[in-house]
Amino acid sequence: MTLQPRHDAERTRIREAMDRLLAGTPTVSDGSLTVKALAVEADVHRMALMKRHVDLKNHFYERIRNETSQVPESERKLREIVARLRQTVKDQNSEIQQLRQQVARLTLASAVLTKERNSLRPSPSAVSNVTQLRPRRR
């Protein structure tokens, strides 16, 4: 029974901290619109927001979008990561295509060189005085 009042008090502090941060009047945090600042402002552990009060964290991000027309910091960072990863995939696909073309060219060159080598080598029947020796056994 003692956990419920503490839980409710924590939720109340989080809601009040949200209001202060969105109003631009933080009391103890740096005022940034992040979960870290919300946790500091509400005097709760950040993991409490991430685990026990997920609904309030999501509500905070929703309010940031609606009331400030800003993208939350975590979302902005994820968008940057996604953009970098898309560029990496694009670059790797281009490199794979170049390597496939190079493999085709090298395979063709190998076939041409093999054919040239075989055409330059005299056939064993063309040389009558050459006897092949077997390698020594040790």
* Cα 91 to Cα 82: distance, rounded to the nearest angstrom: 14
Q: Which of 50, 46, 38 is nearest to 13 (CA)?
A: 38
Do 58 and 112 reside in the same domain of the chain? no
From 35, 50, 70, give the residue that closes a domain.
Answer: 70
Q: Which pLDDT does position 123 carry in this prediction?
A: 63
Does residue 114 lie within any of the structural domains?
yes
Q: Which amino acid is at 117?
A: R
| Angle (CA) 40 62 70, round 5° | 85
Q: pTM of the full predicted structure?
A: 0.53
Q: Has residue 81 been placed in a domain?
A: yes
User: How does pLDDT run along the chain (138 residues), one tens digit per residue?
Assistant: 466 888 889 999 999 999 999 998 999 999 888 899 999 999 999 998 889 999 999 999 889 888 887 777 778 888 899 999 999 999 999 999 999 999 999 999 999 999 888 887 766 566 566 667 777 776
Range(s) of the domain holding residue 88: 73-119
